[in-house]
């Protein structure tokens, strides 16, 4: 188990951070969130194609970078820190992982992965963002005998940016994953708590679809949810670290009662506790990324549940502390702290709540219910 960052991972972080510093400053994020173009497509093209982030998890022989969950985790730390409005999690992690669980020797699957990896297309997996690994295969969409899909999936992340939807649906031969052109579905973006990760309700009315060959579609879906839940912990660490750094920086600047506010012991102790929380969440998130990269399913599941049960609460607590310790300015729309609180709170519900991940841990660590 390696809980540190390799030199390659450090270089990747620097590259992503430089692009975000240049292209994704707080005022740009704030300016975009209420517009008709919630995603920064120019930034996404740059990250996806030029930096190759869209294909990080895709093997080289399928046109990707052949990297692992460890590298994707580093990218998510940076994207979380900047709350960058790009569909990396939905497309390059969630949808891509589902496709990697299908039969990648099949031409359809391989071609779709190659397009995603090259940044030529963006995909979304049609599941509610609140869906968790371990849940039953969804039944809200069904395929008819001609392979057309009908049904509705709510709260789908990054569907608004997607060209392609990967849709879990019940069909004549049982559960399957289907490829649907986004243009053939009704994608309705709604007003979401987290403004930097737009959500949509997606409706299919006899939408033309192609069944993606997979030995075990349910396992492919569940594996994608597990991987994404584990990597979400690194995004949460990125959010939490930003909140801690900004708050410490603010409290070193601000004077009240003739003193630097950060010198008051009650605040110093709160920040020391928060620092410890972030350090701990980082260790848990690194363990999850490392276990996902190593590929032992049981160890990975255990590490993901531990990381999600930890980092979700850490990000929320860090964002709440950031708001409180910034005082009045933390309540304003102008200051970017609220974007992290909204991201952190939405992330707490995403891919399983902490309580749900603890419950999932129960059989893995032999602590049975009452």
Partner 1 sequence: MAESHPTPGKDPDASEVRRRVAELLAAYDPARVPREKFLRARFDAGLAWVHFPEGLGGLGAPRALQAVVDAELAAAGAPDNDPRRIGIGLGMAAPTILRYGTEEQKRRFLRPLWTGEEVWCQLFSEPGAGSDLAGLRTRAVREPDSGDWIVDGQKVWTSSAHLARWAILIARTDPDVPKHQGITYFLCDMTDPGVEVRPLRQITGEAEFNEVFLTGVRIPDAHRLGAIGDGWRVAQATLMNERVAIGGMALPREGGMIGPLAAAWRERPELRTPELHDRVLSAWVAAEVVRLSAERVRQQMAAGAPGPEGSGLKLAFARLNQHVSGLEVELMGEEGLRYGDWTMVRPESVDFYGRDAGYRYLRAKGNSIEGGTSEILRNIIAERVLGLPAEPRTDKDVAWKDLPR
Which residues of this protein are in contact with partner 1, per CB under 8 A? 1-4, 248, 251-252, 259-260, 262-263, 265, 267-269, 271-273, 275-276, 279-284, 286-287, 305-306, 309-310, 355, 358-359, 361-362, 365-370
Residue 196 is classified by DSSP as T
CB of 263 to partner 1, least distance (A): 4
Q: Which is nearer to partner 1, 97 or 247 (CB)?
A: 247
How many CA atoms lie within 13 Å of 332's alpha carbon, on the beta-carbon side? 7
Q: Which is nearer to partner 1, 286 or 342 (CB)?
A: 286
CB of 273 to partner 1, least distance (A): 7
CB of 242 to partner 1, least distance (A): 15
CB of 18 to partner 1, least distance (A): 22
Q: Which is nearer to partner 1, 36 or 366 (CB)?
A: 366
Closest by Cα among 178, 184, 177 to 203? 184
Give the Cα separation of 61 and 234 in Å (integer). 27
Q: Residue 224 CA to chain centroid, in angstroms?
A: 11
Q: Which is nearer to partner 1, 137 or 275 (CB)?
A: 275
DSSP bridge pairs for 181: 164
Give the Cα separation of 282 and 260 in Å (integer). 29
DSSP string, 108-154: HHHHHHHHHHTTS--EEE-SBTT--TTSPPP-SEEE-TTSEEEEEEE
DSSP string, 276-300: HHHHHHHHHHHHHHHHHHHT-HHHH
Q: Which helix (H) or strand (E) holds 202?
A: strand 199-208
Q: Which is nearer to partner 1, 208 or 354 (CB)?
A: 354
CB of 1 to partner 1, least distance (A): 7
Residue 99 is classified by DSSP as H
Q: Which is nearer to partner 1, 38 or 134 (CB)?
A: 134
CB of 276 to partner 1, least distance (A): 4
């Amino acid at each position: 188990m390696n809980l540190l960052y390799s030199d390659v991972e450090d270089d990747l972080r620097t590259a992503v951070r430089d692009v975000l510093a240049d292209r994704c400053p707080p005022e740009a994020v704030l300016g975009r969130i209420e517009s008709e173009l919630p995603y920064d497509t120019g930034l996404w093209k740059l990250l996806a194609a030029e930096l190759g982030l869209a294909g990080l998890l895709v093997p080289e022989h399928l046109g990707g970078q052949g990297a692992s969950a460890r590298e994707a985790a580093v990218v998510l730390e940076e994207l979380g820190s900047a709350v960058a409005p790009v569909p990396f999690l939905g497309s390059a992690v969630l949808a891509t992982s589902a496709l990697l669980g299908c039969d990648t020797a099949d031409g359809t699957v391989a071609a779709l992965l190659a397009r995603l990896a090259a940044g030529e297309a963006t995909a979304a997996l049609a599941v509610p963002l609140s869906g968790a690994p371990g849940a039953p295969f969804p039944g809200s969409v069904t395929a008819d005998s001609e392979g057309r899909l009908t049904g509705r999936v709510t709260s789908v992340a990054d569907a608004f940016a997607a060209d392609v939807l990967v849709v879990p649906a019940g069909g004549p031969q049982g559960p399957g994953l289907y490829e649907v052109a986004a243009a053939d579905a009704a994608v309705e973006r709604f007003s979401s708590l987290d403004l930097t990760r737009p959500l949509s309700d997606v409706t299919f009315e006899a939408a033309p679809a192609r069944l993606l060959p997979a030995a075990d579609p349910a396992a492919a879906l569940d594996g994608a949810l597990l991987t994404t839940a584990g990597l979400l912990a690194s995004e949460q660490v990125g959010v939490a670290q930003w909140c801690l750094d900004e708050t410490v920086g603010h409290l070193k600047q601000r004077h009240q009662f003739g003193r630097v506010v950060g010198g008051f012991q009650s605040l110093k102790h709160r920040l020391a506790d928060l620092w410890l929380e972030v350090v701990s969440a980082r260790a848990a998130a690194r363990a999850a990324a490392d276990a996902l990269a190593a590929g032992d399913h049981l160890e990975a599941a255990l590490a993901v549940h531990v990381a999600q049960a930890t980092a979700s609460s850490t990000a929320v607590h860090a964002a709440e502390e950031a708001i409180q310790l910034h005082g009045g300015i933390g309540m304003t729309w102008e200051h970017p702290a609220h974007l992290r609180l909204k991201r952190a709170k939405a992330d707490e519900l995403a891919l399983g709540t902490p309580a749900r991940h603890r419950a999932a841990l129960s059989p893995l660590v032999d602590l049975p219910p009452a």
